Chains A and B, each alone.
Chain A
Amino acid sequence: MVIEVRNLLKRYGELVAIKGLSFEVKKGEIFGLLGPNGAGKTTTIRILMDILKPDEGEVKVLGRNPSEVKEKVGYLPEERGLYQGLGVLETLVYFAELKGVPSSIAKERAISFLEKVDLLDRAKGKVKELSKGMQQKLQFIASIIHDPEVVFLDEPFQGLDPVNVELIKGLITELRDQGKTVVLSSHQMNLVEALCDRILLINKGEAVLYGPIREIKKRFTPNTILVKSPQLPPTIKGVQSVAKKDDAFMLTLAEGVSPQSVIKALVEEGVELEAFEVAPVPLEDIFVKVVKEGKA
């Protein structure tokens, strides 16, 4: 395991921000750390980055105390910024040097990354001369320039246009392909869904959902299918009820009946099928439902 968290507890005065949180992150996965505002995501990440100290519990990153592995970890915080008066290249070299990379190597890597994100022509300019989107990309590079083994990305897509979202998505999957571990925190559920292997959803400092994204979605998918057809027979084998929904029919299946067996039955009865869909539940709906209900 790359990250191990056991019974983590963090208080701010009287407020208990994290209440006995436990989870693990495997090597080479993209792990989604999700939750509504104030749920405790940033506090958890700050503890994993050794910016805050836990009050109770055990935290290990790469098998060690977070303070011992700072150079192997990258961090893009949600509350972020850059030295506006500093040069673009100079900024990257400074952040890399702070992570223990010699300046000559840092310079080479910075140039290579700037080229990758189409900012090489701005290398000698000042940070303040960059647009907001360009600064976002620069911050992303700053978090991975030292070739970390684990990267924490807190809202990496915030304020990016669709083109740059795709660019950052590409860089994140590239990190996974290189065997790096990525912990991603984002409110853009479609992107989390597209990128993450597993997720942890926390609410009010407690874990409410944890596991592979596919299994979680399966758990929340209702046993219904959408069928587009001019007419359906009055009874269908394995179907409990039929309801009209817009220009289609919503079929609720009986317990243990698979969508495939219903399709087979419809085809056998000679029903003319225009479209057929197993209605998936978006992660966003699961998120809203779980947070509103308070538990999974």
Chain B
Amino acid sequence: MRFSKVWTIIKHEYITNVRRPGFIIMTAIVPALALIGLLVGAYGGGIFKGMAQSLADFFEGTSKRIGVVDGTGFFTPLLPEYENNFVLFGGEEEARKALEGEKLDAVLVIPSDYIETGKVKVITRGSGFEAVAFEDSEWFKGFLVSHLLRGKVEPAVSRRAADPVKVEPEVLGEKGKVQGGGPWGILFTFIIPYFLAFMLIMTIFVSSGYLLQGIAEEKENRVMEIIVSSVSPLELLVGKVVGLGAVGLTQVLVWILSALGFTGGAVLLLTISAFSLPPSTLVLLVIYYVLGFAIYAFLMAGIGSLGTTMRESQQLAGIFSMFAAAPYMLSGFLMANPNLTIARVLSFFPLTAPTMMLFRLPLAKVPWVDVAGSLVVLSLSLLGAIWLGEKLFRVGILIYGKRPSWKEIWLILRSS
């Protein structure tokens, strides 16, 4: 393989594609939307804040006025901190009338057997949805607990019973070293695998789109034959994969950086998170990313070149995108246990190994057998992907008109 030729193709593919109006529009659309979002947020902040508050109130009930019919005596008199929202009524009928007269938002009837059964009646207007929402309301639970414990425990204990826990997470790394505390720790654990796997999948989707578009166009406008008279199909294939991979990476990086930039500070978090990983993990992540992208790109280009139009090429190559995204479906389980058996098995399958390992590596200490094994599998698979991709590409680029059947492809491959 002559690298000067490959470099010429890489330059050509990169420059011509980043100049395309389609690329510029698609690349600019995410920052533009983020900017619009930011502006709308700045101007309409007050309105949105009000809306958000109303929504929270709907579920939490903090601004509601509620009538209480106390059959137990625990709630009479009301604690001063609840007097703004709760009003005591002597009987249910009186409270119902106030509700019908829209002086109240709800009526809470606490029967005399409440302590034994835990049952209360909530009467509302309109839908029953609001009544159901009471059950999950922390604020409402606090109201009940505070009154039940009044005078039995110290006020501080009573307040704690009403709002028992505020979790501050802390993540331990190797040798018990604290890697992150508080909410940063959680973000740290989640953000790296999500970000890297997302990057890989997005780059595969975006670059393969350009790759297939490029191949289909060159086949349709018949430039392909002139090019393969100057360079070998392998040189062309490698040039295209690297050049268009760089195009896809550029687009995804612009999207991510702009989106993160607009969220403010997230870029900094990402950088800090990335650098707080052990260097060996960082190196491995990059290796998995490169291997993963290369395997997918060579296979997709090879298969895609068999199509005679862009649509046909996309259909043929589309199956690979599903494999790339598969580990995302397991992300919930992986977060809890990154060394699940299924995760380990999928780390040895060439099409799922890259995304799977990108997920697992930052989450926990992955057994070295998995790392070494998956790297061997991926390296061999890459050679296989280049070999197969080049064979298919060599045949595919000269197919015009009708797409060959799988049997025809097999026969041509065998004879080549």
Least distance between B411 CB and chain A CB atoms (Å): 4
Within 8 A of B (CB), among A42-91: 46, 49-53, 55, 67, 70-71, 73, 75, 77, 79-86
> In the complex, are the beta carbons of B225 and A79 less than 8 A apart?
yes
**Given A67-B232, A94-B8, A12 contacting B415 (CB threshold 8 A):** yes
User: Do B16 and A83 touch (CB < 8 A)?
Assistant: yes
Q: Complex: how many Å from CA A13 to CA B413?
A: 9
The answer to whether A81 and B223 touch across the interface, beta carbons within 8 angstroms, is yes
Flag if A85 contacts B400 (CB, 8 Å): no
B231 near A98: Cβ-Cβ < 8 Å:
yes
List of B residues within 8 angstroms of A98 by Cβ: 5, 8-9, 227, 230-231
B414 closest partner in A (C-beta) = A13
- Contact partners of B227 in chain A: CB under 8 A: 98
Q: Please measure, in the bound complex, the distance between the C-alpha atom of A97 and the C-alpha atom of B5, giving whole angstroms.
A: 8
**What residue in chain B is nearest A146 (Cβ atoms)?**
B230
Q: Which residues of the partner chain B approach A142 to less than 8 Å between Cβ atoms?
A: 226
Contact with B along A10-26 (1 / 0, CB 8 A): 01111000000000000
The answer to whether the Cβ of A100 comes within 8 Å of any Cβ in the partner chain is yes
Main secondary structure of the interface of A (DSSP, over half): loop
Interface residues on B, range: 20 to 34
Q: Say whether B221 contacts A95, CB under 8 Å.
A: no
Contact A85 B20 (CB under 8 A): yes
A49 / chain B contacts, CB cutoff of 8 Å: 229
Given known A12-B415, A55-B415, contact A81–B221 (CB-CB < 8 A): yes
CB <8 Å contact, B225 and A51: yes
Chain B residues lying within 8 Å of A75, measured Cβ to Cβ, are 225-226, 229
Question: Which residues of chain A are within 8 angstroms of B416 by Cβ–Cβ distance?
Answer: 53
A95 to B232: give the CA distance in the assembly, Å.
Answer: 14
Distance from B343 Cβ to chain A, minimum over Cβ atoms (Å): 43
Q: Does B4 contact A (CB under 8 A)?
A: yes
Q: Which residues of A contact B16 (CB under 8 A)?
A: 83, 85-86
Instruction: List chain B residues, Cβ under 8 A from A70.
Output: 229-231
CB pair B408 A13 closer than 8 Å: yes
Nearest B residue to A154 by beta-carbon distance? B225
CA distance A53 to B20 in the complex (A): 35
CB within 8 Å of A: which B200-243 residues: 220-223, 225-232
Interface assignment of B24: CB less than 8 Å from any CB of chain A: no
CB distance from A66 to the nearest CB of B (A): 10
Tell me, rounded to whole Å, the shortest Cβ–Cβ distance linking A135 to chain B.
Answer: 11
Which one of B223, B232, B412 has the greatest number of beta carbons of chain A within 10 Å? B223
Neighbouring B residues of A73 by C-beta, 8 Å: 229
Chain B hits for A109, CB < 8 A: none
Residues of B within 8 A of A84 (CB): 221
Selected A-B contacts with CB under 8 Å, 15 pairs = A11-B415, A12-B412, A13-B408, A13-B411, A50-B229, A51-B228, A52-B398, A75-B225, A75-B229, A82-B223, A83-B16, A84-B221, A85-B20, A98-B231, A139-B226
| 14 further A-B pairs in the complex, CB-CB below 8 A; given A12-B415, A52-B398 | A13-B408, A49-B229, A50-B229, A51-B228, A51-B398, A67-B232, A71-B230, A77-B229, A82-B223, A83-B16, A97-B8, A98-B9, A99-B230, A143-B226
List the interface of chain B (C-beta within 8 A of A).
4-5, 8-9, 12, 16, 20, 220-223, 225-232, 398, 400, 408, 411-412, 415-416
